[in-house]
Each structure stands twice: as structure tokens, then as C-alpha cells.
Amino acid sequence: EAGVTQSPTHLIKTRGQQVTLRCSPISGHTSVYWYQQALGLGLQFLLWYDEGEERNRGNFPPRFSGRQFPNYSSELNVNALELEDSALYLCASSLVPGGGTEAFFGQGTRLTVV
């Protein structure tokens, strides 16, 4: 069975540009979480989607947004990129929504903003 997959694995963008990251959860998982992992800052919670709805968002500005599709895959969009957006963006999925169970992570997308 395929795990959580993310694309692209790496990308470089210029400050002010927009970027879209993609995530496919494990088959049967309805919850998708997005995390930002910047150097030294651990795993910062960005967004949580379940059954196509945004359930919660972390302490990030509105230029971070996303959506979840009917097949439960998800996109993370970041507008007006800033240098400090450079980080590893990790997607995770879980069988049960909201917590209380294992979250399976993708390999991440390494975003570099120059």
C-alpha cells in the first residue's frame, strides 16, 4: 500500500511568487495535516482538512491557504512568498480525524525562497 506522497520534492521560488504543494494521503484516510518545518523550529502546524473541509489552522498569515479534494488529496498554496517561508513542508494523513491516532507523514517538499 502506498504511503503519503508529496510533490514536488524540491523547488526554488523567488520572493513574491506563489507556490502550490500537493499531497496524496494513504488510501482510506480522510484527514490531511500540513506542517512547516523550518530549521530549529520543529513542526509548526499549518492546516488540517477533513472530508473536504478546513477544520483548523495554525498561527500563520492568510497567504497560507489550501484545499482538500473529493478524493482527499490536498493542496497547500502560499502567496506572496517571503524569504522566511523557506522550509520543509510536510503533509500527514490519519485514519481518524482530529488526533488520537498515528499520523503518517510524507517525505516533504523542500521550498527555497530566494
Partner 1 sequence: GENVEQHPSTLSVQEGDSAVIKCTYSDSASNYFPWYKQELGKRPQLIIDIRSNVGEKKDQRIAVTLNKTAKHFSLHITETQPEDSAVYFCAASKEVGGADGLTFGKGTHLIIQP
Q: Which residue ranges make up the site for partner 1 (CB under 8 A)? A: 31, 33, 35, 40-43, 45, 48, 55-56, 90, 96-103, 105-108
* Nearer Cβ to partner 1 (19/89): 89
Report how far residue 54's alpha carbon sits from residue 37's, in angstroms, rounded to the nearest whole number: 20
Q: Which residues pair with 114 in a beta bridge?
A: none
Query: What's the Rg (C-alpha) of the chain?
Result: 13
Minimum CB distance to partner 1, residue 52 (Å): 16
Q: CB nearer to partner 1: give 10 or 15.
A: 10
